[in-house]
Amino acid sequence: MDEVKLIVFGKLEEVMGKNELVWSLPIDVRTLRHELENKFPTIRKVQFAISINNKIVSDDVLIKVGDKIALLPPFSGG
Amino acid sequence: MDFEKYQRQISIPKIGVEGQQQLLDAKVLVVGAGGLGCPALQYLVAAGVGNIGIVDGDVVSKSNLPRQILFYESDLGKLKVECAKENLTKLNSSANISIFPFYIDNKNAIDIIQLWDVIVDCSDDFATRYLLNDVCVILEKPLVYGAIYGDQGQIAVFNLKQENNFSTNYRDIFSNPPAKGEVPTCEELGVLGVLPGTIGVLQANEVIKIITNLENCLANKLFLLNLSTYDANTFEVMKNSTVKYPSTITEFEQFDYESFCGTSKNEMDW
C-alpha cells in the first residue's frame, strides 16, 4: 500500500496522541489537511505548517510515496 | 579592545580581532527579558556585544527565578529591565545597556526597532511575535526568533538575505496566528528552565553568527529541538507570496495585533 510517514510536533502531538503516524498517500498537501481534519476534528482550530522532506511547502504541492512529512504548529512560549 | 577578556573568542580563526570588534560595535535589541531573553542577554553581554537594548514592562516574580537566572531573590518586585541592566553590568561593565521599561506595541515599535542592527524575539505571546515580525520586515532588520512549547523549542533567523537574494520571515511559515487559547502558554503547560535556557543561548549563537558573518546561520530555515528525545530537525523555509500583512509603516501602525491574535483563522481585511 502507498504510504507516507507523518512526524508530528508540539500541540499536535497531544491532539493526535503520538509523534509519528503512517498515513495512506494523499494527492497533495491540501488533501492531507482535509484528511487530518476529518480524523482529528480538533486540529481544525490549530494552525500548522507542513513540510515535505524537510522543506516547508504550500497546500498545492503534490505528495509522493515515501515522502517524509512533518506537521509544524507554532510555539509562543518564551 | 580588552584582549585578555576576549582571548578565547579572538583565537577562533573565523572570529579573530575583526569579529570581536564587530561584536563590540554591534547594536542588539532583545524583546522580552524572560525565559529566552535572560540567557540570550547573558551570553551576548558576556561575549562583548557592545550595545544592548532590553524591552520588557514586567517585574520579577518568584515563579520567574527557576528559569530566568539573570535575576536573584533580591530582585523580586523590581522592573526586569532595571535588574537586567544592573546584573548584566556586573557581568560586563563595558556593555552600553539601554532599557525600555514597557511592552512593545505598534505605536512605539518603529522608533525603537530602527535604532538596532539585530532584533531578538524573546517574547511569549503571538501578538508580539507577529508585530515584531512585521516591523522587522518593514525596516529590513534581521530578526532572531525563538519560541518554546512543552519540551520543544523553535529557532529561526528572519529577514536576512542570502546569496540568492531572498529572505523569509515568520509569515512565510505561519501566515496567521492560531485561535486564542489554542496553544497553551508556559504558565498553563509548565516549563523546565533548561528549555528556554537552551533555546535562548542558541538565539545568542545566531546573533553572534549574524554579527560576525559566520556561515550556517539559520536564515531561511526553521530549527526544532526536542529536549526530551534530543531529536533535532531543520526545515527549509520558502517564500510564501500569497500571504498579506502590513507592508508600510502606516499599515503597521493601524493594524490591531491584539485582536488579530484573539480571533481564529481570520481573513485580514483593511
Average pLDDT over residues B32-36: 98
Judged by a CB distance cut-off of 8 A, whether residue B54 touches chain A is no
Q: Which of residues 43-72 of A touch B (CB under 8 A)?
A: 45-47, 49, 51, 54-58, 70, 72
- B208 versus B258: which is more confidently predicted? B208
Residue A45 reports pLDDT greater than 90: no
Supply A74's cell numbers: 507554532
Judged by a CB distance cut-off of 8 A, whether residue B72 touches chain A is no
Q: Which of B41, B27, B87 is nearest to A78 (CA)?
A: B41
Name residues whose C-beta falls within 8 Å of residue B84's C-beta, 6 or more positions apart in sequence.
B33, B37, B38, B41, B54, B56, B70, B71, B97, B99
Rounded to two decimals, what is the model's pTM?
A: 0.94
Say yes or no for a CB contact (<8 Å) between B233 and A54: yes
Q: How confident is the model at residue B162 (pLDDT cuts 50, 70, 90)?
A: confident
Say yes or no for a CB contact (<8 Å) between B178 and A9: no
Beta bridge partners of B149: B152
Say yes or no for a CB contact (<8 Å) between B235 and A45: no
Judged by a CB distance cut-off of 8 A, whether residue B263 touches chain A is no
Q: B44-63 pLDDT, tens per residue?
A: 999 999 999 999 999 999 99
Expressed in angstroms, the distance from the first to the final Cα of chain A is: 42
Tally of domains in chain B: 1
Q: How many angstroms away from the CA of B234 is the closest CA of chain A? A: 7
Q: Tell whether B265 is covered by a domain.
A: no
Q: How would you class B189 by CB atoms within 10 Å of its CB: exposed for 0-12, middle for 13-18, buried for 19 or more? A: middle
Query: Judging by DSSP bridges, how do beta strands B221-226 and A49-52 pair with one another?
Result: unpaired
* pLDDT at site B184: 75
Residue B183 reports pLDDT greater than 90: no
Name the residue range of residue B117's domain: 7-260
Question: DSSP labels for B220-256?
Answer: TEEEEEETTT--EEEEE----TT-----SHHHHHH--
Q: How confident is the model at residue B138 (pLDDT cuts 50, 70, 90)?
A: very high
Secondary structure class of B153 (helix, strand, coil): strand
Q: Kindly report the three-state secondary structure assignment for every residue of B209-229.
A: HHHCCCCCCCECEEEEEECCC
Q: How many CA atoms lie within 13 A of A48 on its CB side?
A: 29
Say yes or no for a CB contact (<8 Å) between A54 and B240: no
Q: How many angstroms away from the CA of B192 is the closest CA of chain A? A: 12
- B268 versus B27: which is more confidently predicted? B27
Q: How many CA atoms lie within 13 A of B13 on its CB side?
A: 0
CATH architecture designation of domain A3-64: Roll (3.10)
Q: B257-267 pLDDT, tens per residue?
A: 998 888 433 33
Measured in whole angstroms, the distance separating CA B52 from the mean position of its chain's CA atoms is: 12
Q: Which of A2, A8, A1 is nearest to A62 (CA)?
A: A2
Secondary structure class of B208 (helix, strand, coil): helix
Contact B168, B238 (CB under 8 A): yes
Q: How confident is the model at residue A1 (pLDDT cuts 50, 70, 90)?
A: confident
Say yes or no for a CB contact (<8 Å) between A78 and B172: no
Residue B185 reports pLDDT greater than 50: yes
Average pLDDT over residues B237-246: 90
Say yes or no for a CB contact (<8 Å) between B235 and A55: yes
Secondary structure class of A7 (helix, strand, coil): strand
* pLDDT at site A48: 94
- Find the range with the poorest average confidence among A13-17, A44-48, B26-30, B209-213: A44-48
Q: Which of residues 174-193 of B touch A (CB under 8 A)?
A: 174, 176-179, 182-186, 189, 191
Contact B174, B237 (CB under 8 A): no
* Domain CATH for B107: 3.40.50.720
Average pLDDT over residues B232-254: 94
How many whole angstroms separate alpha carbon B59 and alpha carbon A71?
36
CB contacts of B192 in chain A (<8 Å) are none
Q: How confident is the model at residue B85 (pLDDT cuts 50, 70, 90)?
A: very high
For chain A, the structural domain boundaries read 3-64
Q: Tell whether B1 is covered by a domain.
A: no
Judged by a CB distance cut-off of 8 A, whether residue A40 touches chain B is no
Say yes or no for a CB contact (<8 Å) between A47 and B189: no
Residue A64 reports pLDDT greater than 50: yes
Q: Tell whether B183 is covered by a domain.
A: yes
